[in-house]
Amino acid sequence: MGDLYKDDSGKTLRVDASFDMSSYTELSLVFTKPDNTVITKTTSDGVVIGAGVTDPDLGVLAANQYVEYNFEVGVLDQSGRWCVRLVYDNTGASPVDKFHGAPAHFTVKELC
């Protein structure tokens, strides 16, 4: 992903789930900002299932086993340590599947 700076937009975040998510009905990324404010981004906000890629930080990511999100304007509004976790929902399963990914941390740097 490279460096992130406060007020960046358009940069791509990849989150590895390490399991097949092709049966999803909703994919969400739950972000916790440095001040503990929580925001959620979903498929309607641009969270998409990955088609397979080699990421310089994460290595080889298999199709349907990770998500991508391009940061929208205004999301990265705080510098400091952020946390993100993936939430997978499949309401077509019986019982309903809901999985939470392991938290990942990243730092948003302050502009000088």
DSSP string, the chain: ---EETT--SPEEEEE--S--TT-SEEEEEEE-TTS-EEEEEGGGT-EE---EEETTTEEE-TTSEEEEEPPTTT--S-EEEEEEEEEEETTSSSPEEEEPPPEEEEEEPP-
- The architecture (CATH level 2) of 4-109 comes to Sandwich (2.60)
Does pLDDT of 29 surpass 90?
yes
User: Would you state the pLDDT for residue 71?
Assistant: 97
Per-domain boundaries in the chain: 4-109
Average of per-residue pLDDT values in the chain? 92
CB-based contacts of 106, cutoff 8 Å, min separation 6: 1, 4, 13, 81, 82, 84
The pLDDT tens digits for 46-86 are: 999 999 898 888 889 889 989 999 999 999 999 999 999 99
Q: What is the pLDDT of residues 15-28, one digit of tens each?
A: 998 888 888 889 99
**How remote is the C-alpha of 50 from its chain's centroid?**
11
In which band, very low, low, confident or very high, does the pLDDT at 41 lie, cut at 50, 70 and 90?
very high
